[in-house]
Structures are given as structure tokens and as C-alpha cells.
Structure 1
């Protein structure tokens, strides 16, 4: 079997990502490509998000609309742009799924985790919305590594694309990354001690050095950052009167990625947390007995971007 270094070519330009940008990604675990997605597409995704919020269009069956915890604690059940902080699982929404079909996204992913003929799956799809903070700092996201959530490996054949849907700054809660942290191990995660104002599944690294070299990724509309699943990253609170919106997907190379054993000990915390959420979600739909596992959850929401799916 070929080694990862033989499969992933870091020494020549890709279709989207240049050799220099590849080398930056290899060293730092992320790379920003300016203006990768055009304004017309961004406007389309923004309008779709707003239409879902207002009820002008129905959400697809697997789509989840997630409210901020402070809103939920107040008993506010109405979905609006100000209360909704995330749409997940948009793989069956024809407008939002266009993002995962964008040639510059697909080819950028292939440049980093595959080759032109790779089978690429979108494993996780989200529109992130960060409204003005409710005063409890619940809009921030603790430092974490995405691989913590993923029951598949190897990590070098997984990457995220994260595209700004509007100007993103430190003031409205931009991404914060720790360059080079993807070269280290997967660290232990849990819920941070934030006075109960932590959104569901916002897990964070339990212990880390307070002197981490953190970089704030301020981005313009259409800018896209690709990053490795072991990269330590998070985001701050939105301290403005406006919004922060981004559209994002995690991709895996199905030719090489495989699921971990279901009893893998490093997945214990996240599996237990998510299986409770899955049970709660299905219960709301009137389904009270099911054998859907954490692995099933990932398999059901994975979708081919290109190629023929055979493993994930």
C-alpha cells in the first residue's frame, strides 16, 4: 500500500491550491484562499438561511436547527435569525448543497487530501450563524480539534472548508487557530466550565498551555480556509450588533478512510454525548425505540461529492 506521502503530493501546484499554499498547510494545518467563492453564491446561501429561519421554505428531514443555549433556557422556541446559531446536515437541501459541489471547493479538497480521481464524501455540513451575544458569552466556541468528533481515520485524509458569508473579524467572533497543532496528538475533550452557558456538543480541550500561539483569522466575504481535523481552533463571542455567518463542510477521502471500531476508547465521551442527542432528536419525531448508533449517525449524513462511495 502506498504511504500518505506518496499519495498526497505536496511538491507541485494543485488545481486550486498552489505548491506554496500546500507547504503552508502542511506546516501550519490551515490555509486561507481569498475570494474563493463568488458573491452570487454567497447571496444564495444567505437567502436560503434566512428563508429557513422565517419558514418561507421547509427544512429537509435530516436538517437540524440549533438554537443558542441562552435562548433555549429562556423558553424561546421561535426560530429566527437572532435565535438560530447553526443549521446542520444540509446535504439534502438543493441550494446549500451547491456549496459542496463548487468546483473550487471540490478541487481544493482534492489538492489537500487526495488526487483528481479520489472519491470524496461530505461527512458534515453546516451553516454557522453567530448573532449578537446575549451577554453570557454563549456565542463563543471553546478550543477544540474536529477529529474528536469523527469516528473515522486517518486524519490526513480529512479536511474542512470554511467560507465566510460576510466580513468576519475579531469583534464578531472570528476563528482562532493554533498553527502547527495538527502535528500533535488528539487531546482529551469535555464540556468547558462556563457557568452552564455552553451550547450542546461544544466540546473543548480539557488542558492546554495558556501561552499557545493563537492566530485570529479575519476574513472577507467569500474567503475560504481549509484546515486539518487535528488543528486546535475555536472562536470568540460576537460583541457587535451584527451577525457572523459561514458555510462549512468536512470532507473525507473515501478511498482511504475507514470507521474506527465502535468500542474505541478515545471516542467514549463523544459517543455517549451524541447518542443522548440522537435519542432526544428521534423522540421529538415520535421514534422511541431505535438501534441507531453514533457510527450510523455519521454514515447516514455522509454524501458523495464525487466518485463511488464504498467504505464510509
Structure 2
């Protein structure tokens, strides 16, 4: 994970992970050459004028002994928090091999969704790793679920969700080297746009780098503090070469200051479902892989998205499922793809 020593007061927070963009860079800012192992771990504590005693986005009961007050203050103000070296190498390597086995049809994918990059979906003679840019919904897979259910990961997740945890959405993103179309980008968006359940403050994403990640291979970017806002209107961006299916974005969000998260293998960022984030094009010669899972409290409440800004994504998801022979409404599809992984409901499945 890398940090730039910017004039942090301009962006409204006193420490951060990543390289700030959209504001001037001082001469002493770190420079990154895309070399694994060069993302320094720097952690400067929040120095609030008044110590916080009430937290909205993390829970006292489950944060004690896991998150420091400074970490909680940082998440409270910025909506994201990076924990270095959280996921062991052997699990990441096993997950990488499972991805390859799935896209190469060496194992049955079952209900796991395999997604192709827009620019490559009709190409012939390419290796499957080059064509498939994402797999998702693997909470029940015998290999990839090891990440979803990893106790060391859930110990952090429960700081945000509470002790009863549901895994609601799992992905392994395989960002391919861009062929010049920039379709490897992911537009700036809020994850809550895709979720027909609440409360938003008891939802969190865990996103883990499976290798060194920086600007060259399309690192994650976040806009600090936007988790305190509202759910914005999302649409497909007007990109010349098109955009991958279901990659909705917020028009105009690219004009806001942002932080680029340079991460090392095993580093994990936790972020709120309302924080605006995305990723750039992979201009390196190698694939960029990351594995992630969204979690919520097991006591979520489903909402009717009809007539809201989420109605467009609901219809799109239902149509895609129907073309695959699965006829369910938006809420039922989310129920189907989720799994309780800790707490009373998880224990009842054993």
C-alpha cells in the first residue's frame, strides 16, 4: 500500500492510503515505478481536534481489540481503510489457480458467473485468461469460499457489520492488459447502486490485491468522504469504445479529488458501499487480479427499487439471469447469491 505525502488539508483528512489526485503534488511526494515491493506501508494517525466518542460506521462491540481508535476515526472520515498483508500468499495463489481452472473449464463452474471483456469476447484463439475479466458469485465454491469465510478477514468485517455476517457478493477481477480501447477501466460508481438491501452503514466491501497493484495496471481509486453523501444516479458512461456489461457509473464524478490505492499482494481495503470508487486502465503487459467480497449484517432489510435510481440495474440483472434460464426477481437473485458466514444464521446451516 502506498501513500503520497500531499497537502492533506486540501482534501479534508489528515492521513490516507494511496496517491491523491486532483490536487497539486509537492516535490517530496513518492514516485512509483510499478515495481513489486515498492509500495511503502505508511500509517499516520488521525489527529482530530476533538476525540471522537460516537462512531456511525464502525461498531463499538465488535471493533474493540481489532481496530484502533485512530483507524475508526479514519474510516469515519474517509469511508475506506487499508489493512496491509492481511490475506496469506498461499490462499491468494490457490484462488488464482482456481480462477484459471474455472475459465479453462477444468472444473465445473456451477452457478459461478464467468464474464468476458467487451473488447475480446468475439476474438478467436486467445487464452481464456485473456478473455474472461471477472468471475462472481462463488460463496459456495469449495476453494474460493476459503477467502469469503477466512476468520482473519471476518474479524475485521464484523467491525463494520456486527457479529452476524452475510456474504452478499463475491468477485475475482482479472483486469487484462488493455488493447487500446480502455475497456479495462471501471467507471466511478457506488456499490449500493447494485444492492436492494439496507442499512447501508452495515455493508462493507473487502477488496484484496492478489499482486502488486499501482497506476500502471489499474489500481483502485476512491473519493474520500463521499460515503457521507447519497446514492447518485448511475448510467452507462459515454465511452467511445463502449463499456463492459453492468459497469454503470456516475456522470461528472471524475472531476472530484481522489486517492489511488497502490497495494501489495495480500493488502486488503475495506470500504463503505456509498464511497465513490473505480479503477483505471491496465496499461501494463500483465493481468491485474484482485479478489473481493461484499458483506452485510445478516439482519438486512430488502427494499423495492421500483421507481428509484436502482430500477435500471434491477431490470438489467433480471434480464441477464432470464437469458441464462434463471427467472427470479432482483431481490430473489440477491438472496440466491448470498451466504451467512458468521453468527447465529451461519451456525444454523451447519
**TM-score, normalisation: structure 2:** 0.79
- In 1, distance between residues paired with 2:99 and 2:292? 13
Deviations 1:280-300 (A, max 9, x none): 222xxxx6xx3x101111010
In the TM superposition, 1:178-189 aligns within 5 A as 178-189=223-234
- In 1, distance between residues paired with 2:154 and 2:317? 28
Closer, same or farther: CA 138–128 of 1 in aligned 2, 3 Å: same
* Structure 1 residue 308: Cα displacement: 3.4
- In 2, distance between residues paired with 1:206 and 1:167? 30
In the TM superposition, 1:12-23 aligns within 5 A as 14-23=64-73
Are residues 1:98 and 2:115 paired?
no
Aligned to 2:128, what secondary structure does the other structure show? coil
Decide whether the 8 Å contact of 2:305 with 2:311 is kept in 1: no
Q: 1:214 — aligned with what?
A: 258
- In 2, distance between residues paired with 1:213 and 1:10? 30
More moved, 135-144 vs 8-17? 8-17
Decide whether the 8 Å contact of 2:57 with 2:202 is kept in 1: no
Decide whether the 8 Å contact of 1:13 with 1:19 is kept in 2: no
- In 1, distance between residues paired with 2:240 and 2:324? 25
* Structure 1 residue 48: Cα displacement: 1.1
- In 2, distance between residues paired with 1:7 and 1:223? 21
Deviations 1:86-139 (A, max 9, x none): 00011121110000111121110101221xxx2110000010101111210000
Aligned to 1:82, what secondary structure does the other structure show? helix
Closer, same or farther: CA 77–271 of 1 in aligned 2, 3 Å: farther
Q: 1:64 — aligned with what?
A: 113
Decide whether the 8 Å contact of 1:15 with 1:111 is kept in 2: no
Decide whether the 8 Å contact of 1:101 with 1:305 is kept in 2: yes
Which of 17, 25, 33 is equivalent to 2:75?
A: 25
- In 1, distance between residues paired with 2:165 and 2:63? 20
Q: 1:277 — aligned with what?
A: 320
Decide whether the 8 Å contact of 1:12 with 1:18 is kept in 2: no
* Structure 1 residue 76: Cα displacement: 4.2
More moved, 41-50 vs 11-20? 11-20
* Structure 1 residue 173: Cα displacement: 0.1
* Structure 1 residue 5: Cα displacement: 5.1
Cα RMSD after superposing both structures: 2.2
Are residues 1:247 and 2:319 paired?
no
Give runs of ≥4 in structure 1 deviating > 4 Å: 4-8, 10-13, 75-79
- In 2, distance between residues paired with 1:235 and 1:174? 6
Alignment length, in residue pairs? 293
Q: 1:126 — aligned with what?
A: 171
Q: 2:128 — aligned with what?
A: 80
Q: 1:296 — aligned with what?
A: 332
Q: 2:180 — aligned with what?
A: 135
More moved, 268-277 vs 124-133? 268-277
Where does structure 2 lack aligned partners over 5 or more consecutive residues?
1-53
Which of 271, 282, 287 is equivalent to 1:238?
A: 282
Aligned to 1:105, what secondary structure does the other structure show? helix
Deviations 1:120-177 (A, max 9, x none): 1000001010111121000000000000000001110000000001111110000010
Are residues 1:35 and 2:78 paired?
no
More moved, 272-281 vs 23-32? 272-281
More moved, 24-33 vs 200-209? 200-209
* Structure 1 residue 207: Cα displacement: 3.4
Q: 2:239 — aligned with what?
A: 194
Closer, same or farther: CA 46–38 of 1 in aligned 2, 3 Å: same
